[in-house]
Structures are given as structure tokens and as C-alpha cells.
Amino acid sequence: MEKRMQPQNPERRRLQLFPSVHGSRSAITCMYRCGDACSHPVPNTSDNEYLGDVIAKAVSRRGLFKGGVAAGLVVGATGALAAPAAAADAEGSSSSARWGRGPRGLDFEAVAPNREDAVVTPEGYEQQVVIRWGDPILEGAPEFDPENQTPESQAGQFGYNNDYVALLPHPDSSRKKVLVANHEYTTESSMLPDYDDAAPTEDQIRIGLAAHGLSVVTVQEDRRTGALTPIVGDELNRRITAETPFVIAGPAAGSDLLKTSADPEGLTALGTLNNCAGGTTPWGTVLSGEENFNQYFANFASVTDADRKAKLARYGFSGGASGRKWETYDKRFDLVQEPNEPNRFGYIVELDPYDPDWAPRKRTALGRFKHEGAGPRLARDGRVVVYMGDDERFDYMYKFVSKHKMKTGNSRSARNHNRTLLDEGTLYVARFTGDSPAAEIDGTGALPADGAFDGSGEWIKLASGDTSYVDGFSAEEVYVHTRQAADKVGATKMDRPEDVEPSPKTGKVYVALTNNTNRGTGTNAKADEANPRTANKHGQVLELTERRDDPTALTFGWNLLLVCGDPAAADTYFGGFPKDQVSPISCPDNVAFDPYGNLWISTDGNALGSNDGLFAVALEGRYRGQTKQFLTVPIGAETCGPVVQEKHILVAAQHPGELSGASYENPLSEWPDGPGSLPRPAIVNVTREDFDSIGC
């Protein structure tokens, strides 16, 4: 294992210090990942209230950020921003000596922002590439050969652009683990030689189909170093692709809205697309969210039915030919020939990594939208609750509460029962409200009459089983056209709600709101002096507390934990922690928790000029808000995953070198294999040099 994987050609790296970008991502990433969504009109044209306006009613920009350190405000146990007794004796003292190195789990030297073509970790830590795009998984799969890649070889190899990662116990050995990763999208121009995006070959298209989906890989753990080595051909190893049959499960299964010429019963979908974040259920299955599925479909412009066209537009469909041209060889990607095919994507999918014979499911009860991921939590009564974000500008946050209770134990009966829990329950969408009258927020920094800047919210029922709670919508319409149903009930617009995860320690729910540069532009919701930020390019993290710590509750409180960006800027906030002792963070994407209850955040599209990274944030006590960068990923890459365990941290470095001008013939990164190699998305395992507890 190595401390740092450095490029051998520093001149190449220096050329990319200030790449041409499309927003905070490269134009290539925008095109292949989400179909250049930000260049299209915002799909949500409803007049529902916007979260920025809600926050504006609850907090004054000049008040919250006065002095750059929130005037000593911290978040108390109730979830409201308030001035604690300890704030006075902290005045004028923000030295490292006073604050120390942080709570357990955060005892490491923060990595500085950088533009290196490497994974950079703190001193005293080692790193290892566990598996990369094209590495063989299944028995008989060939070694990676980029000049001779075929659809058949890719179907037996690790897929492209790894995103969500889970590292699970192995059923037969304490020194083996089961690694599950999903594969969000493909960048064919960087993957394949002689690729013509205007006229791809059938083989190139089929390679792209095979590189999507999920991978299940058994890995061997080294007892001394913690290195993880894939076991090729293990009986649990598995590839799920864009052509793997999925069972359509839940209340919309068999709906006329899901029937196609290839599947007239509406019960079996072929493949999964654009899988982003995910989650692990209490019964050991893996959840994965289908996100920007709209970009794979062609000929929206040729749809003539006005109602159908409006429904498609609400999900971001647009234009004529698709970017990848899959419709050239497979009519299911043509909106004219197969009008219901897009309705079969946009779900949470469930995979049992311990049972290769169990067909993966699309869980319609959890709604259809651009799922970033799914964060499960078990309620005290045994029901499972799943939190979800719809990753689109001005879209919504959801949760699902199961009807039935989880059975404990590992018996076949318990496992079979638990694998049906996500098929029956109630789907909700969130509405946020500010608690303080606008007249009491005068922009001077004075607290309102209630002595706190805080808010509340409610969960609005959308559907339960065959019952719809939305006027004018049948239940199956709610599950298939979930965005429109949420529009109808007045859900609160948010700034790209991505990962939504409950803390295993406290039950509080953390929401990564990545960014929204459309805020305050054109006809979009306007900002004013009291609004946290116009053209929000750095994002924020919201903390939500369910009433009585009950995840099945219908009401909650909320507050801002982080308002991200440059700590030196007045419009950033770090939970009340001194801003001269935090790492700059931009565009929070995925979140996870370490064994000590700290929050870990991966970023996507850092708008501060540095590579993306992984950050640890203290949530309790006097260190609340302390933010430290643990690692950065290579140039052009996004930090995905992450897995944070006592002795392992895994991140998925997605799309390394994906900078404007990059292609197969002109690679702009040499990570992870060094000089003369093609950049390859990969999963990295970080451990302490002595393989002891991380951050301790």
C-alpha cells in the first residue's frame, strides 16, 4: 500500500490547474452524466415555496453570518440556533491550542486543497486501489484490454464510473468482505478508441450498456495491512447491467403506465440506469437510486400528445436524438416507439448481494424521480423508514414508511419477509416552514423574539398502497408521476437535495444540498439580503430532527449545519465553529457516519478551484461544525462512496481526468496506473499505516 499515488508526468498535471469548466464541472461530465441538465430549463415550474425563501424568513444573512463566525451562535440539542453559555468565554480565542485536534475520529492532519493527479491522504495513512474499471470479476472474464474491449468482456468486468460503495460482512469468513458498487454512467469518448458520438457502432453501444449497473465482488482482507484484494470468480460475484432483468415490484407493478411491447404485463424491466448513491438495509440488502435516466431516451421533440409531453418535461426530457444514440439499435430508448419505457426507470432498486439467484427489484412504492440514494432507519416499532432526495434544482425531499415490521434473525423465513418490506407502506414529501415572523428579522444580527433561528416542517402523505392522497391522481399515478403529485400538494423546493441519511447514533437526518446556481435568476425564486445566497454555487447541509426522535413522525424541526464555501467569506457558516480552523468545502454530495457519530461528506464539483474531496464534520459538543478534509481525489474526478468504518475508508474516485478536451486519444489524467495509461474510475481503500482506528 502507498501513502500517495503520484503522477510521473508533473508537466501534464500543471497544464490542468485551471481547466475550462462548465459551471464547476467539465462540459464532458455534464454531457455524459446528466445530459447537460443545468443548461436546460428547470423542470419544476410549480409555484411551490422554495427552501431558500423559507430560510430567508427564518434567518437574516447579516445576522447569521455577522463577524464571519455567526456571532458565537451554535446549534443546541433542540436543533435551534441559539447562543450558549460557553460562547462568551470563547470570545477572542480561536487558537488550535484551545480547540485541540477535535473529537475522536477527527484526529488527523487536514489535507490542503490541491490540484494533484493523485489521491492525497493525511500523513500516517496508506492507500490502495481495490478495483478499477475493467478488472475481471466473473470466472473467465479477460484482463482489461482497452484496445480490444467487447460487450462480453465488459459484462464480466468491473463497470465504469463507480459511485455508491458498500463494504459488508462475508457470510463465511471474518477475513473476507463483500464489496458492492454501482456504476452511474459511461463516458464513451474516454473509454473507447475511435469513438464517434454522432455514429457509435453497435458494439460500442453494447459496451456502454454492459458498463452500467452494479458489481458485487468478494474481497480478501490482509490481516496486517488491511489491504482488500478481489477474489475473481467467487460464487457471490455478480454483474448487473443495463440489460439485466429486474422485477417491477410494489403497488405500481402491472400498471398500464409500465407496460411495453416487450413486457405487456408491466412486471419485468430490462436493466438499470444512472445509479447514483444508495444505502444498506437493516436486513443486509443494498439499495441504489436511478437518477438522470431521462438523458438515455430519444425523440422527445417528436412526441405529439400534449399531456404526455408535459409529464416527460417535468422529468427533464428534451430534444431529439439522445447523446449516446442507444435508440439506433434498441427501440426501447425511443420515446415514440416505446412511450412507457421511461416510466420503468427512476426508482430505488434493491439487490441482495448474498443471494445471486434473487432477481433485483425496482421498488415502485418509494416513488419515481431522480433518486440520489436511499437512507434507511429502523423505527422503534420495527418498521423501516427510508429517506430520499430528488437530485434536481428546486425539487423535493421524500420519505417512505413501511407498513410491516422487520423480522429479526437470519432465517430463510425472516429474510424472505424482510425483502418485501419496501413494497407496502406510505410515501411522503417534505414541506418546510420558518418559525420567525419576517418582521422580526431586520438584518442587523439581532435574534428574533423566540431567541433562535430555526424552523419546522411536516411530511405530507402522497400514497399508501392503492390509496392516493393527492387530488386528481390515482395511486399508480402518484408512484409513476411522483414529481407532479408532490407539486400538487405544495412540497418545498430545495437546492438539489442529494444524499439524505439518518445518523445511526442520534437519529438526526442530514441532507446534502449540493448547489443551485439558478436561484435568483430569470423567473426562478428570488433572493434578497436575508436569503442565504443568490446563485448558490457551494451548497449547504441541513440537519433535520424528527418529532420525539420518531422516524415515523409527521413533523420535524430543521436547522442549517453548514453553509459551504470559502471560510473567509461572510456568507459561510460552520455550525458556530471558528471559521479559521475549518477546511474549505464546496458542493456537498454524499454523506456517511463514522463509528463515533461524526458526519463525513464527499463533494462533487468543487467550485473553489481545488479537487473534490472527503471531509469529516463534528456534530456534537464544542467541536460542532469543525470540518476537516481527509483526502482529495485526482484531477477531474468526483469523490463518491464513501464507506467510513473503524479501520477502513473507501471512496470511489469517479471520472478521473474528465476535463474539457479529454478523450481516449487525449487522456488528461494518468491515475491510477501511471504514465502512458488510460484514466480508470476505481475504488480506493485508505487505512492507517499501523492498521489501527482511523482518526484516533
Statement: residue 563 has pLDDT above 90? no
Work out whether strand 81-82 and strand 74-75 pair parallel, antiparallel, or are unpaired: antiparallel
Distance from C-alpha of 577 to C-alpha of 599, rounded to nearest angstrom: 15
pLDDT value, residue 536: 80
Chain-centre distance for alpha carbon 99: 31
User: E strand or H helix at 504, and its extent?
Assistant: none
Nearest CA to 110 out of 606, 630, 626 is that of 630
| Phi, then psi, of 514 in degrees rounded to 5 | -65, -50
Distance from C-alpha of 560 to C-alpha of 510, rounded to nearest angstrom: 10
Q: Band the pLDDT of 64: cuts 50, 70, 90.
A: very low
Q: What is the pLDDT of residues 382-400, one digit of tens each?
A: 999 999 999 888 899 999 9
Lowest mean pLDDT among 110-114, 128-132, 517-521, 612-616: 517-521
Q: Band the pLDDT of 3: cuts 50, 70, 90.
A: very low
Q: What is the pLDDT of residues 446-478, one digit of tens each?
A: 334 553 346 889 999 999 999 999 999 999 999
Mean pLDDT in residue range 436-445 = 44
* DSSP single-letter state for residue 610: S
**AA letter at 461:** K
The per-residue pLDDT of the chain, averaged, comes to 86
Question: Count of H helices and E strands in the chain?
Answer: 12, 34
Mean pLDDT in residue range 561-574 = 89
Mean pLDDT in residue range 295-309 = 98
Mean pLDDT in residue range 159-187 = 97
Chain-centre distance for alpha carbon 315: 18
Statement: residue 534 has pLDDT above 90? no
Q: Band the pLDDT of 516: cuts 50, 70, 90.
A: confident
Percent pLDDT > 90 in the chain is 75
Nearest CA to 283 out of 426, 162, 151, 412 is that of 412
Distance from C-alpha of 679 to C-alpha of 672, rounded to nearest angstrom: 6
Statement: residue 68 has pLDDT above 70? no
Contact 330, 389 (CB under 8 A): no
Nearest CA to 218 out of 205, 236, 195, 192 is that of 236
Q: What is the pLDDT of residues 4-29, one digit of tens each?
A: 433 333 333 333 333 333 445 677 77
Q: What is the pLDDT of residues 612-665, one digit of tens each?
A: 999 999 999 999 999 999 999 999 999 999 999 999 999 999 999 999 999 999
